[in-house]
Amino acid sequence: MRSDTIKKGLQRAPHRSLLRACGITEEEMKKPFIGVANSFTDIVPGHIHLNQIAEAVKLGISQAGGVPFEFSTMAICDGIAMNHEGMRYSLASREIVADTVESMAQAHQFDALVLIPTCDKIVPGMLMAAARLDIPSIVVTGGPMLPGIFKDEPVDLINVYEAVGAVNAGKMTEEELRELEKCACPGAGSCAGLFTANTMACLTEAMGMSLPGCASSHAVSGKKIQIARSSGRQILKLLEKNLTPSQIMTQEAFENAVMVDLALGGSTNTTLHLPAIAYELEDKGVKVNLDLFEEYNKKIPHIASISPSGKHTMLDLEQAGGIPAVLKVLEKELNDEVLTCTAQSLKDNIKDASVLDSEIIKPLDNPVHKEGGLAILKGNLAPDGAVVKQGAIDSDMLVHEGPARVYESEEECVNAINQGEIKEGDVIIIRYEGPKGGPGMREMLNPTSAISGMGIKSVALITDGRFSGGTRGPCVGHVSPEAAAEGPLAAVEDGDIIKIDIPLRKLDIKVTPEEIDERIKKAVKPDRHVKGWLARYRKLATSADKGAILK
């Protein structure tokens, strides 16, 4: 066992002395040491219940003959960090989560890991660490939040953001907003739609790193506790078989995850996180890039219309059969012989799965859309690619051409929207918000929500930043290379004609190559002074098309 390094032999008497101080008995010294990475915090709804899940995990570990050791990682709530300086830390925190788990596992020589994340960056951060360490690991995602109910309709956090725009446009009263605010987020869990946190949970299950049913089992459900306890027991079986993440998260498993992502119409942020996790397995021959998403986008239809793409919630997905049912629908397209954390194949895991509501999870021959939910655009404005959630766009905006309205930051843009400067037909450009330019690649939920809430229909938004998983409409993000890396976005001027053609996968500015080059040379980057670890992040971060990993 790896843990023998810290507990076996004459030279480890000092180490054992410290372990005894933690209450470890003579008998427990002989058992496997299992790390339990818990991202509990009091200020993130997706994480406020994780101590209960951790206790269930630890009980399962003890029942199966292991010794659990719980440790914590950081967790940032994107919703609370949104639209201020705090959002610069969100994506960047993914690397700290990975580094924390790696550090604790290596320093204390855990034999295996149970990972307990919920929200946007914590799930991929922990998966990155699991891939990097390659010791037996299993993930228990914390589960979705129940939807709120407002005027007899299900609501979630995105409804509140959009309602702010509605109030500014005089379409909703402040009193109504106040009532919505009180009920939209009823308790523990990740926000009720298919935003980034829930998308990543679904993909974790699709890759085989969490037990079947984990992703959509809700935070407040007994089922979640049962899965947590079962996961604690299962990690000892994985350790016995020495079944590690590199044997589960293979190239074929990542391809399965991409297919599920496209079928669900998940968050655009997956095009950052899946490549980042895959990078940790590069020496195993794993590679995930934007081209892989586009390859499968033509083959896999969009089969579930979950908020923000439609009216359904994660609760609807759970009641329709969850990810096992989605996998069952896609079975003929999937690599179903891959191993999973059950120590069985994906095919074995879903042999008894079925769709319980075909209005929620549609069949392949009657999908929501014939293509997958995400699209990768390229052109002279995004030579290395850009991402859009095409499953959440009205058909009349799939092709759009209009004059650019250029802003150097999210704050500038939000102020312009609130002041009524944006007109129908405009193409909003928000630049210098990429991994280096931001730094930190902030999410642009406030401007997109303001536009939607105010009822402005024929407006597109393009940024080298990113979007919340809750964003809907013609919002093109992750433009690469970013403006701060002298990408073409730095050359755009007010009034330039921008054309977005999603069916043809094109994103172009009607300016000559020579003029673009000349403008980039003259471009003046915003002077954003940052200190602390964000300054280090800015120096090391790669572009969005590379997953914004650090090199």
Give residues with Cβ within 8 angstroms of 546, minimum separation 6: 275, 279
CB 116 within 8 A of CB 50: yes
Q: Quote the CA–CA distance of 248 and 320 in Å, as a whole number.
A: 26
Tell me the DSSP string of 481-515. S-GGGT-GGGG--TT-EEEEETTTTEEEESS-HHH
- Write the burial class of residue 503 (CB in 10 Å: 0-12 exposed, 13-18 middle, 19+ buried): exposed
Which residues belong to the active site? 468
Where on the phi/psi map is residue 209: left (φ > 0), alpha (ψ -120 to 50), or beta? Answer: alpha
Positions of E strands within 204-323: none
Short-list 162, 234, 230, CA closest to 193: 162
Q: Quote the CA–CA distance of 356 and 460 in Å, as a whole number.
A: 37
Question: How far is residue 140 from each of residues 108, 260, 374, 496, measured CA to CA in Å?
Answer: 21, 19, 26, 48
Short-list 281, 291, 541, 501, CA closest to 402: 501
Q: Quote the CA–CA distance of 231 and 62 in Å, as a whole number.
A: 12
Give residues with Cβ within 8 angstroms of 258, minimum separation 6: 274, 288, 292, 293, 296
Short-list 480, 449, 216, CA closest to 324: 216
Q: Quote the CA–CA distance of 216 and 199 in Å, as a whole number.
A: 10
User: Which two tokens mark 245?
Assistant: 């993440």
- Write the burial class of residue 59 (CB in 10 Å: 0-12 exposed, 13-18 middle, 19+ buried): middle
User: Which two tokens mark 389?
Assistant: 């959630």
Give residues with Cβ within 8 angstroms of 366, minimum separation 6: none
Phi, psi dihedral angles at 453 (to 5 degrees)? -65, -30
User: Which two tokens mark 425?
Assistant: 């037909």
